Amino acid sequence: MNDIGRAPEPDIGSPAGSGSKTGFRMCGYFAMHLIAVYLLAIAISPLLAGFFYRQVVPRLGGSIDTSGELQYYFSHLLVASLLPAFIAGYLNFKYRHTASLWVWLVPAIILVYEICTFQPSSLLVSKWSGAFAYFFSSDWSVPASAQEAFSGNLEGMRVYNAQTNFSAPFYAGVAYSLGALAGKHQMIRLPRGARDDV
């Protein structure tokens, strides 16, 4: 065959070049999903819990707890972190980024590091049971104001900060990844036409 009259085939690029572009793209997607997880855990979840506390609970006939909105959010931290993150992860199925399946790793590694380096405030408490209570228990009293925090409930504020900065992103990361997995495998059926609108 004569190749003289044939136009040259376009250069698609080497596998290494396309792999590096894919790697950069995957890192970008991972960073985007990780930012979404932290925004959900640190900003959106408290707002939703506050809205639920002020607007929904009274309308359902429940009484508003006098300990305040922060205490309500803190005592419902797990649910407040899981639900929005699962929904956001599930709605991710439109983009099908596999990076969203692994975003739980970063908050998990950070939380494990914090647990391992935790020093209990009392010598009477073992390190591991103290760390578990510090990062996962909702039995702490959270100060309703900064004045109360500085007047003696500093430990409650430390626990609140630790759980909202380390435990809540872990909960949200796991829920986000599970939601993305459910969306990827279409484990939850949406009404016809709703998939295209998302």
Per residue in 124-142, pLDDT (tens digit) is: 778 888 888 888 887 777 6
Give the Cα separation of 122 and 75 in Å (integer). Answer: 23
What pLDDT, on a 0 to 100 scale, did the predictor assign at position 17? 46
- The answer to whether 98 touches 123, Cβ cutoff 8 Å, is no
What pLDDT, on a 0 to 100 scale, did the predictor assign at position 12? 40
Does the pLDDT of residue 177 top 50, yes or no?
Answer: yes
The pTM score is: 0.75
Computed on alpha carbons and rounded to an integer, the radius of gyration of the chain in Å comes to 23
What pLDDT, on a 0 to 100 scale, did the predictor assign at position 6? 56
What pLDDT, on a 0 to 100 scale, did the predictor assign at position 194? 53
What pLDDT, on a 0 to 100 scale, did the predictor assign at position 14? 40
Comparing 31 with 14, the larger pLDDT belongs to 31
pLDDT class for 92, splitting at 50, 70, 90? confident
**Cα 49–chain centre separation:** 15
